[in-house]
Homo-oligomer: A and B are copies of this chain.
Amino acid sequence: MSSYKDKKVITIGIISELTGLSERKIRYYEERKLIFPERTKGGTRKYSFDDVERLVDIANKMEDGMQTFDIRRMEQKKLSKKELRERMLRGQLNAAFNMRK
């Protein structure tokens, strides 16, 4: 789906206003691999509304004393869980398939 939420079209100044975070913080979270803006030909960063939500989420975790390292690992765990779910599903499908033959 080409939703508006994940279209990278917002520059950092406006992102800063929307999230309340300084541009410095936003660029730093990118450096720590927590956020992945696109770039214009000229090199200007472009973010999506999804990124706004992600940044607010990051900000909350930082307030809770979490380090960028922890947050990144947490993101990966989420991915792992998702993968796990997919694998379980695939496993069930395979089992059902195998029963047929």
Contacts and interface: CB of A to CB of B under 8 A. Distances in A.
Interface of A: 4-5, 7, 9-11, 13-14, 18, 40, 46, 49
Nearest to A46: B14
Query: Closest 7 A-B residue pairs measured CB to CB?
Result: A4-B49, A9-B10, A9-B14, A4-B4, A11-B11, A4-B5, A10-B10
Contact of A40 (B5, B10, B13, B46): B13
Instruction: Count this chain's copies in the assembly.
Output: 2
Nearest to A15: B9
Contacts of A7: 49
A10 B47 CA distance: 10
Contacts of A5: 4
